[in-house]
Amino acid sequence: MATSSYPNRIFCIDTDYVAPGIACAYIVQDSEACALIETGTGPALPAMIERIKSLGLNLEQFSAVIPTHAHLDHAGAAGQWIEAMPNARLYCHPKAARHLIDPSRLEASARGVYGEAFDSLYGRLIPVPEQRVIALADHDSVQIGQRKLTAYHTRGHADHHLCLWDEQSRGWFTGDTFGICYPHMRTGAWPFAVPASTPTQFLPALYQDAIDLIASKQPQWIYPTHFGRIPFDMRTADGLKQQIAEYAEISDNTTVVNELETITLRHLKQSVSEAEAHNIVLSLAQDLALNAQGVVHRLAQG
């Protein structure tokens, strides 16, 4: 589904990143005011605008655009949305702000990872005017009508990552901090998620701390960017922490992909059949290859 509606005036919009069902953005509404959490990428903007309109919303209603971090599948269209939403400001982690105001270093880094695929994936990065950017300190809140979204800084996946707590829905918008959980990974006894250790700031202990923070709120729902709402389950959180611990134990940078596949398969088999576990691991080949780059980068740092 290109759009989904959840209780508490929360909507999920596919951002058409790589393929359907890979990445999404969320809309949180209170009265007439709306926030867009995550931006998708520039090439997806026309389709996303049509999806917003199909929900009966218009761009003038948006007062906030909030990427969880500056990685381009989450923030690549920040500049385009600020141009398209005349009443919106961009709210982000302080360390993300400079990269969204001047995305040149962000683009150079991403081109190093994605190479020739950069242009088709991300298009042109548009700077966000500095006067429309508000940096969120840890525990700062964004007011959407009478509704409050509270930012918590969560390192581990990226130093410039924040998660948003919505008391009204008892839910977290987690970006990549609660891992990757595509719909086909939810067929077992609990939702299965894999960590996101993409380069270059994978820090296992801090990643585990961030998961503990999320769990400490006793949430009802998790809204990961990859992909769509899942019920919070402590087994998902524990599984993520255990996988991260095993990622941290890898010491041979020549076998990382194979080791990540083995770790993922072993954990999957706790909740789904062996045949299904193998199929899911195959479907995660691209994600695990990116995760391997993060693990290798960490090993290179000593």
pLDDT in tens, 24-72: 999 999 999 999 999 999 999 999 999 999 999 999 999 999 999 999 9
- Residue from 192, 207, 208 nearest 263 by CA: 192
Contact between 37 and 229 (Cβ < 8 Å): no
Alpha carbon distance, N-terminus to C-terminus of the chain: 43
Q: Any residues with CB less than 8 A from the CB of 279 and at least 6 apart, and which?
A: none
Domain of residue 114: give its range: 3-183+196-245
Residue 133 is assigned to a structural domain of this protein: yes
- Check which CATH number belongs to the domain holding 29 and give it: 3.60.15.10
List the Cα angle 136/18/180 in 5-degree steps. Answer: 55
- Please provide residue 113's backbone torsions phi and psi, each rounded to the nearest 5 degrees: -85, -45
pLDDT in tens, 139-191: 999 999 999 999 999 999 999 999 999 999 999 999 999 999 999 999 998 99
Cis? peptide before 192, omega within 30° of 0: no
Residue 156 is assigned to a structural domain of this protein: yes
Tokens of 7: 């209780």
pTM of the model: 0.96
Number of separate domains in the chain: 1
Residue 262 is assigned to a structural domain of this protein: no
| Count of residues in the chain | 302
Contact between 229 and 268 (Cβ < 8 Å): no
User: What pLDDT, on the 0 to 100 scale, is given for residue 130?
Assistant: 97
